[in-house]
Amino acid sequence: PGSYSGAPSVSRQRVESLRKKRQLFPWFGLDIGGTLVKLVYFEPKDITAEEEEEEVESLKSIRKYLTSNVAYGSTGIRDVHLELKDLTLCGRKGNLHFIRFPTHDMPAFIQMGRDKNFSSLHTVFCATGGGAYKFEKDFLTIGDLQLCKLDELDCLVKGILYIDSVGFNGRSQCYYFENPADAEKCQKLPFDLKNPYPLLLVNIGSGVSILAVYSKDNYKRVTGTSLGGGTFFGLCCLLTGCTTFEEALEMASRGDSTKVDKLVRDIYGGDYERFGLPGWAVASSFGNMMSKEKREAVSKEDLARATLITITNNI
């Protein structure tokens, strides 16, 4: 009788021990930037029958909600084309899903976490970016969720090395252009990051940071610029009335920036041959907008395109 009564207790202790060793799902990562929130979700594909039986309804609900939709509300988007399939992460096999939404919708995301009872899963959200600090109190007081904050530049360096190591569904994520100055011979080729150091890493977010990386653990920020993705989106909102990043890019794809910018040929009548400047090169971004007639002739799409060219030319 003594042995019989003790066996279930030992069994329960073993199960609890296994649970503690096993990293509990769900696995999320958050990058809360100045313009966009990027969320990565690991969808396990090797769940055992025992795990499925133990899985609580809220966890099933979260997995179904995230993987069966490509849009969440009016602004959340899952980038299906970026999904990484059949990865091994911490000994588990599954898929990585990438979701994004505007940072100004973060309060709604935290409220959704509360409504879906995230806190009952006893999970800690790993988060990086400035918003990991800005919204930490809201996560705790509204969502009853704890954030494990990680430095965004540390994550950037390690993330690039990780993505290179796993590839993109069998294809390399890193590439370079051979013969970039020759339109006919220029071609895109895979780049091997096995021994890349030292390297310059340019991170284009709301603003831009440029890092000198000497090893995976040794780097420094050497410079940066406040002109970045946030500048493009903000100016597009002002100039065109667009309300989403996707809308801004779509408008830019249909525009003609040469109606907005003053080109070398507008000043010289052609190329500036002495210094090898072609006539189509931009001499002055938005330079044509000094003219009332030209202001009246441009479209919102032209303005969006010129804004995109202005920002990318200055990075």
Amino acid identity of residue 237, one-letter, is: C
Q: Are strands 146-149 and 76-78 parallel, antiparallel or unpaired?
A: unpaired
Catalytic choice (43, 53, 152, 301) = 152
Cα–Cα distance for residue pair 59/117, rounded to 1 Å: 9
In a 3-state reduction of DSSP, which class is residue 193?
A: coil
Task: Verify whether residue 184 is a known catalytic residue.
Answer: no
Compute CA 186 distance to the chain's CA centroid, rounded to the nearest angstrom.
28
In a 3-state reduction of DSSP, which class is residue 206?
A: coil
Q: How far, in Å, are 176, 189, 313 from residue 186 at the CA level?
A: 10, 10, 20
- CB distance 124 to 139 below 8 Å: no
* Residue 281, both tokens: 């090169």
| Radius of gyration of the CA atoms of the chain, in A | 25
Spatial neighbors of 311 by CB under 8 A, at least 6 apart, are 227, 228, 229, 231, 232
Task: Measure the CA angle with vertex 191, ends 190 and 195; round to 5°.
Answer: 150
Cα–Cα distance for residue pair 76/100, rounded to 1 Å: 6
DSSP letters of 50-63?
Answer: HHHHH--HHHHHHH
In a 3-state reduction of DSSP, which class is residue 216?
A: coil
Cα–Cα distance for residue pair 249/242, rounded to 1 Å: 10
Work out the widest C-alpha separation in the chain, in whole angstroms. Answer: 102
* Residue 93, both tokens: 């096999």
Please give the positions annotated as active site.
Answer: 152
